[in-house]
Amino acid sequence: MIDLHTDVTRQGGGIGKSLLVVIAVVAVSVIWLLMDEDAGKGLKRQAELKTLEVIGDAATRRLDFGDEGEGTHGSAVDLIKRPIEVRQVADNVYYATGVGNTIMITTQEGNVIFDTGLVLQVARQLQALKEVSDAPVRYIVLSHSHADHIGGTRFWQEEGTEIIAHGDFLEEQRYLSELEPYQYGRNRTLFPWMPAWEDRPDIAMMRYGGIEPTITVPDWENYSFTLGGVEFQVIGTPGAEGADNAVLWLPQQKILFSGDFFGPQFPQFPNVFTMRGEKIRKPMEYVKSLDLLLALEPEIVVPSHLNPTVGAQQIQADMRRIRDAVQYVHDATVAGMNAGKSVYQLMQEIQLPPDLDLVQNHGKVDWAVRSIWDYYASWFHFESTTELYPVPARDVYADLAAAAGTEPLLSLATNYLAQGEPVKTLHVVEVTLAAEPGNKAALGLRQQALQQLLQRAQEGVSNDYEIYWLQGRLADTESRLDNGQAL
């Protein structure tokens, strides 16, 4: 999934309410159709698509901040700005733009669809691509199980359509479905514009699950087929955005359909760690998958977000840089672990060398270091006995604050802030607030520490999730300060 990151913190609730009213009205009409046995299948599908179109348009308006130009950056606030229209890559290759692209490869014996976008955009993408070709859909290839890549599958699927996905697709769907409330809560912390869990549009057709691949590909293996004289290869490429990544390769034209293998942008440092809390990704699997793709020597890369990249040389150089960067971070982490360094030391020390430099707005190197550590060594870092027991340090914060006294703590936090140590400031502020949650001086210090971190993040690698997290905490701190004043 692209991780929906925006800065819509201050969007008013009024828009949300009107959106929910629209959703409620259309949901009722859909339920009516689902229950009416006389409503034909086609009619039902039309009604569902219409519903999705209305909700999708409303959601798009809600997220569109009216900035000029088309989205070129992999964040949701940018991707949502992309118009939904068909673009041509080669004689037989078209894609409908959107938050996630839906790609269509036409042949004389029917079409192949690669990824099906976000459910809220399926109506417009489907309509646009059907205008190019209304031939039967013979195969749907899914790059992975994230919601922005599978949303339109059941609307594209026809009688006899084969669905090809990675062998772990069902397992990834299962775990994402079972942990949906947990991930929803975390996402909503990052993206406060999302409706509360109980107010979300909980319409059956928008839920995860229910997609059953008819053909699966294992890790690093191919499934090849020929349709209308066009050769296709689906390759299992684990280690990227989820364990169930697959890519599609057109050997005759040397076109690689990469899904999210490279992340929403190409090139960039991959997301080994997701802030919304998915399973840790395995960097060496990623390197092995990337080696397979390097050997193909693609001339065009068509990703499932943003636009294609053309040019064998540039693509090869970019892919190699991503591969070597991941390998570098992995090897440095392992070397540091073996040298007895702490994870925190390694997070500070390990940086990409200049020749492997990549943007880190999606994946962030120091968080990857920590994820690699945890992937290999699990959560017990052998640093303190307390790690083993369910009594975190914060359980003693309130007593610690009482013992130390508020004034000395505030003065310590102020000194840290002045020394340019915002994280140390936050540690002390957390101790203080544990005893006095409404302490305005402590909240003010928290606000300043967060501002310092935000400025550093923006001037540094500008990671979207770090910025979004900090903005969310800052908004929370400011509202607490406002409430304090109102009292």
Shortest distance (Å) from residue 148 CB to Zn ion: 4
What is the Cα–Cα distance from 143 to 303, expressed in whole angstroms?
A: 10
b/e code 94-133 from CB counts within 10 Å (16+ = b): bbbbbbbbbbbbbbeebbbbbbbbbbbbbbbbbebbbeeb
- Residue 48 structure tokens: 């569902």
For residue 466, state whether it binds Zn ion (rule: CB under 5 A).
no
Shortest distance (Å) from residue 64 CB to Zn ion: 19
Shortest distance (Å) from residue 116 CB to Zn ion: 12
Comparison of 244 and 260: residue with beta carbon closer to Zn ion: 260
List the 93-96 sheet strands across, edge first. 86-90, 93-96, 102-107, 110-116, 137-141, 162-166, 215-217
For residue 3, state whether it binds Zn ion (rule: CB under 5 A).
no
Comparison of 145 and 452: residue with beta carbon closer to Zn ion: 145
Comparison of 120 and 433: residue with beta carbon closer to Zn ion: 120
Q: Which stretch binds Zn ion (CB under 5 A): 208-216, 226-234, 260-268, 418-426?
A: 260-268
Q: Which stretch binds Zn ion (CB under 5 A): 161-169, 255-263, 326-334, 472-480?
A: 255-263
What is the Cα–Cα distance from 177 to 155, expressed in whole angstroms?
A: 20
Comparison of 148 and 318: residue with beta carbon closer to Zn ion: 148
Residue of 220, 195, 190 lying closest to 295 (CA atoms): 220
Q: Which stretch binds Zn ion (CB under 5 A): 2-10, 80-88, 317-325, 464-472?
A: 2-10
- For residues 334 to 373, the per-residue mask of contacts with Zn ion, x marking binding by CB under 5 A and - elsewhere, is ----------------------------------------
Please report, as residue ranges, which positions from 136 to 175 form the binding site for Zn ion (by CB under 5 A): 148
- Residue 118 structure tokens: 């976000």
Q: Where are the beta strands (DSSP E) in 237-389?
A: 246-250, 255-259, 300-303, 309-310
Q: Which stretch binds Zn ion (CB under 5 A): 172-180, 216-224, 254-262, 273-281?
A: 254-262
Pick one of 260, 278, 366, 464: the residue that binds Zn ion (CB under 5 A).
260
Shortest distance (Å) from residue 63 CB to Zn ion: 16
Count of residues near Zn ion by CB under 5 A: 3
Q: Which stretch binds Zn ion (CB under 5 A): 30-38, 257-265, 360-368, 436-444?
A: 257-265
What is the Cα–Cα distance from 368 to 341, expressed in whole angstroms?
A: 16
Shortest distance (Å) from residue 304 CB to Zn ion: 6
- For residues 104 to 133, the per-residue mask of contacts with Zn ion, x marking binding by CB under 5 A and - elsewhere, is ------------------------------
Comparison of 2 and 240: residue with beta carbon closer to Zn ion: 2
Q: Is 109 helix (H, G, I), strand (E, B) or coil?
A: coil
Shortest distance (Å) from residue 100 CB to Zn ion: 6
For residue 2, state whether it binds Zn ion (rule: CB under 5 A).
yes
- Residue 186 structure tokens: 């975390």
Comparison of 51 and 245: residue with beta carbon closer to Zn ion: 245
Shortest distance (Å) from residue 147 CB to Zn ion: 8
- Residue 235 structure tokens: 């390759």
b/e code 426-450 from CB counts within 10 Å (16+ = b): bbbbbbbbbbbeebebbbbbbbbbb
C-beta of residue 372 within 8 angstroms of C-beta of residue 282:
no
Beta bridge partners of 374: none
Comparison of 168 and 260: residue with beta carbon closer to Zn ion: 260
Comparison of 98 and 422: residue with beta carbon closer to Zn ion: 98
Q: Where are the beta strands (DSSP E) in 188-341?
A: 215-217, 222-227, 230-236, 246-250, 255-259, 300-303, 309-310
C-beta of residue 306 within 8 angstroms of C-beta of residue 264:
yes
Q: Residues interacting with Zn ion, by CB under 5 A?
A: 2, 148, 260
